[in-house]
């Protein structure tokens, strides 16, 4: 799938510089950056969900008890 967007010249030059440093095309740089951002957003969503679950039931354990529960 192709995506088209507009960006100012300064930002494009910055992307060109970063892409050149990594010896990749600007398109590949954008693709990688977007995929990394999507992964970051998924991680944030999971962390928010975990924090909400903890706040609903705020139980914590000392390290030794935690590791014992993990079977270590």
Instruction: Tell whether 2 is covered by a domain.
Output: no
Instruction: Tell whether 13 is covered by a domain.
Output: yes
The DSSP 8-state label assigned to residue 23 in this structure reads T
Read off the pLDDT of residues 18-51 as tens digits, 9 standing for 90 and up.
999 999 999 999 999 999 999 999 999 999 999 9
**Dist CA 61 CA 29 (whole Å):** 43
Instruction: Tell whether 44 is covered by a domain.
Output: yes
Instruction: Tell whether 3 is covered by a domain.
Output: no
Instruction: Tell whether 4 is covered by a domain.
Output: no
- What's the pTM value of the predicted model, to 2 decimals? 0.74
**Dist CA 47 CA 51 (whole Å):** 6
Instruction: Tell whether 21 is covered by a domain.
Output: yes
**Dist CA 9 CA 38 (whole Å):** 25
**pLDDT averaged over every residue in the chain:** 96
**Dist CA 1 CA 16 (whole Å):** 22
Domains in the chain: how many in total?
1
Instruction: Tell whether 16 is covered by a domain.
Output: yes
Tell me the residue range of the domain where 31 lies.
9-69
Query: What pLDDT, on a 0 to 100 scale, did the predictor assign at position 24?
Result: 98
């Amino acid at each position: 799938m192709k995506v088209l967007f507009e960006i100012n010249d300064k930002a494009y030059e910055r992307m060109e510089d970063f892409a050149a440093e990594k010896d990749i095309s600007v398109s590949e740089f954008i693709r990688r950056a977007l995929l990394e951002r999507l992964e970051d957003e998924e991680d944030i969503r999971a962390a928010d969900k975990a924090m909400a679950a903890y706040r609903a039931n705020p139980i914590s354990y000392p390290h030794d008890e935690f590791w014992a529960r993990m079977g270590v």
